[in-house]
Amino acid sequence: ADSDFVDVPVEGLIDPAYLARRSALIDPARALESAEPGTPPGAPAARADGDEPAEHGTSHFSVVDGEGNAVSYTSTIEGAFGSGLFFAGFYLNNELTDFSLVPEKDGVAVANRVEGGKRPRSSMAPTIVFDESGEIVLVIGAAGGPTIPVQVARSIIGVVDFGMTADEALGLPLIMAFGETVIIEDDSVLTGMTQELEALGHEQIRTFSPSLKANALRRTPGGWESARDPRIEPKLAYE
């Protein structure tokens, strides 16, 4: 939830000892029966889980100008056409629905409950990647609600770790865990993994046709390469 209202233990989340404990829970040969939340150093008392709203009104753009200034910008009005109210040339958002509208569960406060002046929790992940010398190598972001972090992370891994072009990385099929369910992009090479995942102990597996809306700019020796997810976005323009 909003870090102005809820303490977020950033240092604890990247603490090497904590990361080692969490990674030790992963067995490459067997699925976890249940992935419980961790307790990083400095974490406040646990809050109750909130509900997960759907999202349909997010846009993202990645821009680099001729002087090398870069912007990765994600904007959302939450639902399609937001609140449906139009003013001064734009639609007003209905981001209130990104809060948990149930303020507490079993007497425990929900971190993402509605409060005055508070920002709702969001999956938005506008990202700029730098190399060791401080040069920008990738500007990236996406729309797509809870799929955004996976879209961005898998594309960064493709470019940085596997040397893919931005087009290749953004075109990778999507697989992600959504709670206890593993979701796999329909009509992709990943659908052939279903039996293997079941053999590992994953009991809830389903395919879906995701609305993937990532775009990126990657630095190359010859200039900037523009890319968008080939499944939905129109071709990016640049000069």
Catalytic residues: 58
Query: Shortest CA distance to 132 belongs to which of 160, 170, 168?
Result: 160
Cβ-contact 215, 62 below 8 angstroms? yes
User: Both tokens of residue 207?
Assistant: 């395919």
Strands 204-208 and 181-185 come out as parallel
DSSP string, 167-209: HHHHTS--EEEETTEEEEETTSGGGGGHHHHHHTT--EEEEE-
- Sheet of 127-130, strand order: 127-130, 136-143, 213-220, 223-228
Give the closest residue to 58 by CA, choosing from 213, 172, 208.
213
**CB neighbourhood size of 29 (10 A):** 7
Closest CA to 37 of 179, 202, 228, 187: 179
Matching residue, tokens 């640049």:
238
Angle at CA 25, nearest 5°, toward 47 and 155? 85
